[in-house]
A = this chain, B = another copy of it.
Amino acid sequence: MTKFGVSENTNIEMFSEAAMEAINESNLKPKDIQALFFGNVFGSHEEGQVNMAPFAAADIGIPNIPTTRFEGACASGSVAVRDAFMWVASGYYDIVLAGGTERVLAMDTPAATRAFAMCSNSYYEGPAGITFPGVFALLAHLYSHKYGIPLAKLKEQMAMVAIKNHRNGKLNPKAQFQATIRDLMEARIARATQKGQSVPTWADEMEFLRDIKANPLIADPLQLYDCCPFTDGAAAVVLVSGDKARTLTDKPVLIAGVGQCSVGSLSDQKDFTQMKSRILSAKQAYAQAGIEPQDVDLCELHDCFTIAEIVSMECLGFFEFGHGGRAVERGETEIGGKIAINPSGGLKAKGHPIGATGAAQVYEVVKQLRSECGKRQVDGARIGMTDTLGGDAGTVCNIILKRGW
Contact = CB atoms under 8 A, between A and B. Distances in A.
A331 to B, nearest CB: 35
9 tightest Cβ-Cβ pairs between the two chains A and B = A58-B264, A90-B90, A54-B262, A54-B394, A63-B264, A66-B260, A51-B73, A49-B122, A51-B119
Interface in A42-72: 42, 44-45, 47-51, 53-55, 57-59, 63-72
Given A64-B263, A67-B395, A395-B67, A51 B390 contact: yes
Contact of A70 (B70, B73, B123): B70
A405 interface: no
Interface stretch (A81-89, A144-152, A169-177, A291-299): A81-89
A69 B119 CA distance: 12
8 contacts: A54-B264, A54-B277, A55-B264, A68-B72, A70-B70, A83-B83, A86-B86, A90-B90
B72 A69 contact: yes
A51 B72 contact: yes
A280 B89 contact: no
B72 A53 contact: yes
Contacts of A18: none
B118 A48 contact: yes
Contacts of A241: none
A394 B51 contact: yes
A56 to B, nearest CB: 9
Interface residues of A, number: 60
A50 B40 CA distance: 11
A69 B70 contact: yes
Nearest to A65: B262
B50 A68 contact: no
Contact of A64 (B54, B73, B277, B391): B277
A219 interface: no
A300 to B, nearest CB: 20
A232 to B, nearest CB: 16
Interface string A90-123: 1110000000000000000000000100111111
A324 to B, nearest CB: 23
B47 A44 contact: no
Contacts of A45: 44
A79 interface: yes
Interface string A107-144: 00000000100111111001000000000000000000
